[in-house]
Amino acid sequence: MRWPVLGFAIASTLAGATFGHAEESPTPTQRTVARGDLPADLPGRWLAVAWMKLPMGTRTAPVLWSITTSEGKPSLSIRAVTLPSPGAERLAAANTAGQPWTPAADDLDALAAQWDALGTAAAPVPESVATQIVAHDAFDDALKKDTDAHDALWVVQQTATFPKKTAAVAEEIRLYAVRERLDDGYTGPFLHTAIAMAPFPIPITFRGTFRLYRVHDAPRSILLRALDVLRGCGRRPYHRESY
CA nearest neighbour of 46 among 92, 75, 78, 10:
78
Q: Tell me the Ramachandran region of residue 44: left when phi exceeds 0, alpha when psi lies from -120 to 50, beta otherwise.
A: left
pLDDT of residue 184: 85
Instruction: Pinpoint the alpha helices (H) of 141-204.
Output: 141-145
Contacts of 96 (CB under 8 A, 6+ apart): none
DSSP-derived secondary structure letter, 106: H
List the pLDDT tens digit at each of the 243 positions of the chain. Answer: 333 334 434 444 444 444 433 333 457 899 999 999 999 999 999 999 999 988 889 999 999 999 999 888 999 999 878 899 999 999 999 999 999 999 999 999 999 999 988 877 666 678 899 999 999 999 999 999 999 999 999 999 999 988 776 567 788 999 999 999 998 899 999 999 988 776 667 888 999 999 999 999 866 555 555 555 555 554 544 544 433
Helix and strand element counts for the chain (H, E): 5, 10
DSSP-derived secondary structure letter, 235: P
In whole angstroms, what is the distance from residue 189 CA to residue 143 CA?
Answer: 14
**Which residues make beta-bridge pairs with 154?**
135, 178
Q: Do you know the residue count of the chain?
A: 243
Is this structure's pTM higher than 0.75?
yes
Tell how strand 185-197 and strand 201-215 pair up. antiparallel
pLDDT of residue 23: 37
Q: Answer yes or no: are the C-beta atoms of 184 and 228 closer than 8 Å.
A: yes
> Packing angle between helix 222-230 and helix 105-114, nearest 10 degrees?
140
